[in-house]
Amino acid sequence: MPRINKKATPSYWSKKKDMSKRTYVEKRYNTRRWKKARAIYIKENPLCVDCNKLATVVDHIKPVRLGGEFWDKDNWQSMCGICHNRKSGYESKL
């Protein structure tokens, strides 16, 4: 029996498409300006606001998706990946 190449099946690609549609990507996160600002912010605020471990992400306290201000540092907080994932998981249900 020949092995089926998963990537060649239409269902594989339609699934892929659905996934990219579902994932909300804020374009500004990919800009050089944001990466630079984020790096500086984490340097100044190196600890996760939730668990005090080393922060790796800058989180928007009020999600941009829900009307939070993207560039306002008052709306930023340092978070580790774990806490950030938990927060964004919770927010996706809002």
Enumerate binding residues for Zn ion (CB under 5 A): 48, 50-51, 80, 83
Of the pair 58, 80, the CB lying nearest Zn ion is at 80
| Shortest separation between residue 92's beta carbon and Zn ion, angstroms | 18
Give yes or no for a contact between 45 and 55, defined as CB atoms under 8 angstroms apart: yes
Whats the size of the chain, residue-wise? 94
| Shortest separation between residue 53's beta carbon and Zn ion, angstroms | 5
**DSSP 8-state code for residue 30:** G
Of the pair 56, 75, the CB lying nearest Zn ion is at 56
Token couple for 80? 């580790």
Of the pair 40, 51, the CB lying nearest Zn ion is at 51
| Shortest separation between residue 75's beta carbon and Zn ion, angstroms | 18
